[in-house]
Amino acid sequence: MKAIVCTKTGKTLEEGLENLVLTTRPIPEPNDSQIQVQVKAAALNYLDGLVLQSKFFFLTLGEKKKDKYQIKFKPPFVPGKEQRHIKKIEVKGFKVGDHICGSPAFPHGAFSEYAICNPTGIWKTSNEMDWLDASGFAITYGTAYMTIVQRAKFDELLKAHRSKKQSKGANASSNSASINALVSAAAGGVGTASIQILKALSEKEKEPVNIIACCGGSEKSDVVQQCGATHIIDYKRVPNWSSEVLQISKNQGLDLFVDVVGGKVFDEALKCMNWYGKMMIIGFAGGEIPKIAANRILLKSIDVSGVLWGATGLKDFPSFYSSLVGALRLYDEGLLKPVVGNTFSFTINDVRQAFVELFSRKSVGKLVVCIDNTCLPKNLAGSAKSKL
């Protein structure tokens, strides 16, 4: 089979990419509890680039919970942690031909024609689900669903607000939003997924929400608006945007803040949180870990929580697995549509280009490498072009 292999990690992303080669490897064989899959398309994630630089470790558990240790990828290895594939070998709970999304089992990677998966890291999808939609669905939508529904319990907040309105009688306006949510890096994979889930919950509960998207540039603004954002803040143009949030929310502040950036973005959000607001930390893509002003947390009884979706599977598997089951249900109901910002063919130059685009922070949605070129848009086969 063909596979992209990292022969040596680098100190920088550029060095890591130089050490990628497209080569031929034996098709991997699963053990009795594993699943062999044929990979159709694989999405890029930020952590994939970190792995090439030896900056990311996968946390696992030994036989006892205290036996925590971290595993580092040792070259040569196939990178890529997210894919859409077809099951090739029978295992309990799955049958040959099933369409599946999820992640390959360590140390296998997604940038190869075949991979090995554990049943606990994959989910069945409908055969009608688009290959490109499914390739980047698991990590982004699993993370967003866990953050917004399972941890922040945003659907329960919507129900509580609706009941409060109903108790006030017919004079309570049902069209004015009294709940405010903000998503940082809103045009990225997790950002677009979060906006869509917020919109889906708002529609299902029939409770309007101010969905505020923070992003940079007009192209990204167009993308988040299509996803369902009701208000857009360009934090390149307005760096001190907390006053704008207060204006949008009529001085109420944010009930929910979903953050993948950290640094000054987190600090600015903290200035405009509502009483009992929830700040959900998913990552620090901006490269700066914020120092939290605990007095502000105290003064408004704010909840600050961290969400690391993949690691949750090691500590709370039922919540981990059900997060994507819930997201897939919303997809099947027609409420979610992944944003594929760019597609790339399965060549070494295209894969390198994909990583460069991802780390430039200019991309939108998910970037997808089409392992099977039939997954490429028909007029783009063999080249990397935009697909919005």
Percent of the chain having pLDDT more than 70? 88
DSSP label at 112?
B
What is the average per-residue pLDDT within 328-343?
Answer: 96
Q: What is the CATH number of domain 144-310?
A: 3.40.50.720
Report the alpha-carbon distance of residue 250 to residue 179 in Å, rounded. Answer: 11
Report the alpha-carbon distance of residue 218 to residue 364 in Å, rounded. Answer: 12
Is a pLDDT exceeding 60 seen at residue 59? no
pTM for the full predicted model: 0.88
- Of the given ranges (253-257, 266-270, 362-366), which has the lowest mean pLDDT? 362-366
Q: What is the pLDDT of residues 277-294, one digit of tens each?
A: 999 999 988 889 999 989
Q: Which DSSP string corresponds to 11-80?
A: SSHHHHHHTEEEEE-PPP---TT-EEEEEEEEE--HHHHHHHTT---EEEE-SSTT-EEEE---SSB---
- Please report the pLDDT score of residue 215 as a whole number: 94
- Please report the pLDDT score of residue 87 as a whole number: 54
Amino acid (1-letter code) at residue 38:
Q
Report the alpha-carbon distance of residue 66 to residue 61 in Å, rounded. Answer: 8
Q: What is the pLDDT of residues 82-131, one digit of tens each?
A: 776 565 655 567 888 889 999 998 778 899 999 999 988 999 999 889 99
**φ, ψ dihedrals at 318, nearest 5°:** -55, -40
Is a pLDDT exceeding 80 seen at residue 240? yes
Is a pLDDT exceeding 50 seen at residue 235? yes
Is a pLDDT exceeding 90 seen at residue 174? no
Tell me which residue of 54, 59, 35 sits closest to 310, measured CA to CA. Answer: 59
For residues 175 and 146, is the Cβ–Cβ distance under 8 A?
Answer: no
Query: Hey, how many other C-beta atoms are within 10 angstroms of the C-beta on 142?
Result: 30
Handedness of CA 219, 220, 226, 230 (dihedral sign): negative
For residues 278 and 198, is the Cβ–Cβ distance under 8 A?
Answer: no
Domain covering 2-136+338-386 assigned CATH 1.20.140.10 in the classification? no
- Please report the pLDDT score of residue 46 as a whole number: 85
Confidence at 71, pLDDT banded by 50, 70, 90: low
Specify the higher pLDDT residue, 93 or 42: 42
Tell me which residue of 237, 198, 247 sits closest to 214, measured CA to CA. Answer: 237
Q: What are the sequence ranges of the domains in the chain?
A: 2-136+338-386, 144-310
Specify the higher pLDDT residue, 173 or 208: 208
- Please report the pLDDT score of residue 330 as a whole number: 97
Query: Hey, how many other C-beta atoms are within 10 angstroms of the C-beta on 315?
Result: 12
Residue matched to tokens 């360590």:
106
Could you give the count of Cα atoms lying within 13 Å of 212 in the half-sphere of its Cβ?
29
What is the average per-residue pLDDT within 158-171?
Answer: 76
Q: What is the average pLDDT value for the chain, to the nearest integer?
A: 87
What is the average per-residue pLDDT within 253-275?
Answer: 97
